[in-house]
Amino acid sequence: MEGIRTQTGQRNWFLICGLSVVLFGLTACAGPRGGDRTAHSESFFAMDTYMTFTAYGENAESALRQAENRITELEGLWSVTDTGSEIYQVNHSGGQPVAVSGETEELVSFALVMAENTGGALEPTIYPVLRAWGFTTDENRVPADHEIAERLANVGYDRVHVENGTITLETGTMLDLGAVGKGYAGDEAVQILRENGVSSALLDIGGNIQAVGAKPDGSYWRVGLKDPFSGGVLGVIQVKDAAVVTSGSYERYFIGENGKRYGHIIDPATGNPVDNGLASVTVISGEGKLCDALSTALFVMGLERAEDYWRQNKGFDMILVTEDGNLYVTEGIRDQFSLQDGYEDMAVDVVEFE
Ligand code: ADP
Ligand code: MG
């Protein structure tokens, strides 16, 4: 395909994870046909992932630098491993309130609202369970049932209290914003670009794609949807002014001694890695943080609950790929989605409002 770029976004910002990580779920096809407008591109490593920002127009260069600085600043607030971060302080405060910045308060509050909305599928306190599975270190392992049960006892978004600029965690509880932080960071970057007069840009935030406007020639950005089984590009989503975020367990996982595959997204109901027949969930909406929260939560929910959630909440579109190779596309995005050559035979189900 013409103009396709493939990013190798390694991910694991909030966690130090030794798994070999392949591409994230999306690749951006941003053919720079800018006419007299020049493309400025910037690649950097932050939040344990490769980011590539491309922007067009006069102020693009300085706007990109400001956006990068902002991302680095947010990373410094939310890392779970950096002892200087606010989240680290919150996680090691022994049950005492910790004063945090406005953006940390906002992101944690958002994560709590989304946890409630998704019936706990998004669970920003899952971190201790993730650690038991070794996703935070090089030592992946299958924990004993009693160990998972012990860890789960301290998991629960209702154990997080946000009050007057402080966050308090009940004893034994830890926060991990890994499922939502990059989306929030992307929204911040988009806002900075707009404030600087940039009307056309494409941000690849370790696989989360966020588009400002359309391409300089007015056509939509073409975002590749990755085949969770082969790593190829399965289809193309055409968007403008939108975020496109994928979650799946085909990138960060380990294979147990029993040959079973264990992914890095945990079902908070069981404490086990998600294993519900979904291979990936892609969410498309105007807001990166909503896409990020939902891609993780809908992946936990599985096909039927995800469809129900979409019908009840709307405000976003989604593309689900199941492990048996079927595709489910919500009706709002069906006309902007097309299968790539070689994938024409894939079964595509359109999910409708009814
Ligand atoms: P990625 O980080 O691969 O883009 P996600 O946005 O889906 O994918 O976030 C996955 C990360 O979120 C995990 O690495 C872990 O830190 C954290 N996590 C795992 N399970 C959950 C869950 N049920 N709710 C919230 N966060 C989770
Ligand atoms: Mg997410």
Quick: pLDDT tens for 27-80: 444 444 444 478 999 999 999 899 999 999 999 999 999 999 999 999 999 999
Burial class (CB in 10 A: 0-12, 13-18, 19+), 143: middle
Tally: H helices and E strands in the chain: 8, 20
Burial class (CB in 10 A: 0-12, 13-18, 19+), 241: middle
CB atoms within 10 A of CB 334: 15
Q: Determine which of 137-141, 151-155, 240-244 has the lowest per-residue pLDDT on average.
A: 137-141
Report which ligand 1 atom has the smallest distance to the Cα of 247. 7
Protein residue with least CA distance to atom 12, ligand 1: 179
Biggest CA-to-CA distance, the chain: 64
Best mutation site among 290, 296, 298 for ligand 1 pocket (most ligand atoms within 8 Å of CB): 296
The answer, yes or no, to whether residue 19 has pLDDT greater than 60, is no
Over range 150-158, report the average pLDDT: 98
Cα–ligand 1 centroid distance for 2 (angstroms):
32
Protein residue with least CA distance to atom 9, ligand 1: 179
Report whether residue 152 contacts ligand 1, using a CB cutoff of 6 Å.
no
Cα–ligand 1 centroid distance for 271 (angstroms):
13
**pLDDT attached to residue 2:** 29
Which residues is 278 bridged to in the sheet? 322
Report which ligand 1 atom has the smallest distance to the Cα of 267. 23
Report whether residue 178 contacts ligand 1, using a CB cutoff of 6 Å.
yes
Instruction: Measure the CA–CA gap between 285 and 207, rounded to whole angstroms.
Output: 15
Report residue 154: phi and psi, to 5°: -100, 5
Structure tokens, 218: 């007015």
Instruction: Measure the CA–CA gap between 193 and 242, rounded to whole angstroms.
Output: 14
Report whether residue 294 contacts ligand 1, using a CB cutoff of 6 Å.
no
pLDDT band at residue 12 using 50, 70 and 90 as cut-offs: very low
Average pLDDT of the chain to the nearest whole number: 90
With beta carbons less than 8 A apart as the criterion, state whether 124 and 268 touch: no
Best mutation site among 126, 137, 177, 226 for ligand 1 pocket (most ligand atoms within 8 Å of CB): 126
